């Protein structure tokens, strides 16, 4: 790993690093916040945060205001980038924001030209945690959270790896990507035409099969993407069908922005802390 920056924050440290990813075949950057208790020799649990379309690790760390409560709870925060980057990494030919760079959708791509680099699912589930647990004073107690595309990623990762995460939360997740424009565009590109493969990355499809990882989802009712892209009702229907432990809250007046995330991030981190 190569250090990029280090800033003291609420008694702990916000650090950024780059490293060569063997999974993504490119250089990746990520951020980690280490709470003050690590200076006392203590190891701490980790909340992984997955960001949305067009974002990098910096959006969450700079805008969400999560470090204050992470310092209080004694939890590390880890935020990866949202896609592979660099020369030779495939991108949308038209430069669209919802495919290619900044839009990895946390899947393992199987179709060309994406398959060589776009293995974000394996990066988030395997390679990055192994790196974090090797080089930082953290335990193997993990939780996962995210926003929009990252909310989709957090939910699908938790649902497919029940024993690996103690809890999952999401803000404004893409809840039923097999049935929305963002999901259909990304999945048809990254995964091809086999819609059975698409369903492996759909939180509503997975949640309908059951599970026991506690989940909290917040959705703003003033979100411009609510009806066409996010479809939280599909997630609630799936949870009702299987009896999944989902708490889905529709928050009046809130939109899709980081103002929304900053308003409720403390509740999400406390939710995770209750399940460690």
Active site residues: 148, 223, 256
Question: How far from each other are the two terminal CA atoms of the chain, in whole angstroms?
Answer: 29
Separation CA 244–CA 274 (nearest Å): 18
Q: What is the dihedral of CA 138, 246, 274, 39, to 10 degrees?
A: 20
51 contacts 62 by C-beta, under 8 angstroms: no
Label residues 28-63 b or e (16+ Cβ within 10 Å = b). bbbbbbbbbbbeeeebbbbbbbbbbbebbbebbbee
Q: Name the residue with tokens 């529709």.
A: 250
Tokens of 233: 């009702």
Distance CA 10, CA 29 (A): 23
Q: Does an H or E element contain 154, and which?
A: helix 149-160
Q: Are 166 and 210 in contact (CB under 8 A)?
A: no
């Amino acid at each position: 790993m190569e250090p990029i920056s280090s800033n003291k924050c609420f008694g702990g440290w916000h650090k950024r690093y780059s490293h060569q990813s063997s999974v993504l075949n490119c250089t990746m950057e990520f951020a980690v916040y280490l709470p003050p208790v690590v200076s006392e020799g203590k190891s701490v649990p980790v909340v992984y945060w997955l960001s949305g379309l067009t974002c990098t690790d910096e959006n969450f760390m700079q805008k969400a205001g999560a470090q204050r409560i992470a310092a209080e709870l004694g939890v590390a925060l880890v935020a990866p980038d949202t896609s592979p980057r660099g020369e030779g990494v495939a991108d949308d030919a038209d430069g669209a924001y919802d495919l290619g760079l900044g839009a990895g959708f946390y899947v393992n791509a199987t179709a060309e030209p994406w398959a060589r680099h776009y293995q974000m699912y394996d990066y988030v589930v395997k390679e990055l945690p192994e790196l974090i647990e090797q080089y930082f004073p953290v335990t193997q107690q993990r939780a996962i959270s995210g926003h929009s595309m990252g909310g989709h990623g957090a939910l699908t990762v938790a649902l497919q790896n029940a024993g690996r995460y103690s809890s999952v939360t999401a803000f404004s997740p893409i809840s039923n990507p097999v049935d929305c424009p963002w999901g259909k565009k990304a999945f048809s590109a990254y995964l091809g035409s086999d819609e059975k493969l698409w369903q492996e990355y759909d939180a509503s499809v997975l949640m309908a099969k059951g599970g026991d990882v506690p989940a909290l989802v917040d959705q703003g009712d003033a979100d411009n993407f609510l009806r066409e892209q996010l479809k939280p009702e599909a997630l609630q229907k799936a949870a009702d069908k299987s009896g999944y432990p989902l708490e889905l809250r529709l928050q009046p007046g809130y939109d899709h922005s980081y103002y929304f995330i900053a308003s409720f991030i403390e509740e999400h981190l406390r939710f995770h802390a209750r399940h460690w």
